[in-house]
Amino acid sequence: MEETILFYHSVLGFTPTLKSPEYSIVERDGQTIHLQKAASEEVMKCVRGHTEIYIEVSEIHVLWQHVETFKNRYRIRDLVDREYGMTEFHIEDPNGCLVFVGEPTSRQADANFFELNTTLFFQILASCRPRPVVSRIGHGL
């Protein structure tokens, strides 16, 4: 647990608000992450590499300048602008949890993303129009 708390504190800037060997909470900018010790190493083997969280932050470029100094210690994917309007990097915590850290790329990118999604939504909606229902009422049935 100590190694995990140290990672979230020193690498991602979270502050521990509750620390115990079994359960801890870290906080940054009003967001909390609850950390619970796995019941056994067997459980950790099952979840390691299959757990992800997404943290939205402000001023990602400032955080990235700090995080990239840890490239020799952790698996990190560089800062990148994503097609869905987020600037983000990825880092694996000491337990194999993939942490996505992102920020909306810009207001213009958000507007373009909204326009793209609205167009896509209307295209999908147009292709899903219900067929007219023809009611037939038979006589003498």
pLDDT tens-place values along the chain, 141 residues long: 999 999 999 999 999 999 999 999 999 988 899 998 888 888 777 777 778 899 999 889 999 999 999 999 999 999 999 999 999 999 999 999 999 999 998 743 554 555 555 445 444 444 444 444 443 444 443
Sheet of 31-36, strand order = 15-18, 23-28, 31-36
d(Cα 95, Cα 67) in Å, to the nearest integer? 17
- Beta-bridge partners for 138: none
pTM: 0.69
Q: Would you state the CATH architecture of domain 48-130?
A: 2-Layer Sandwich (3.30)
Cα 39–45–48 angle (5° rounding)?
100
Q: Where are the domains of the chain?
A: 1-37, 48-130
Measured from the Cβ of residue 108, the count of other Cβ atoms closer than 10 Å reads: 9
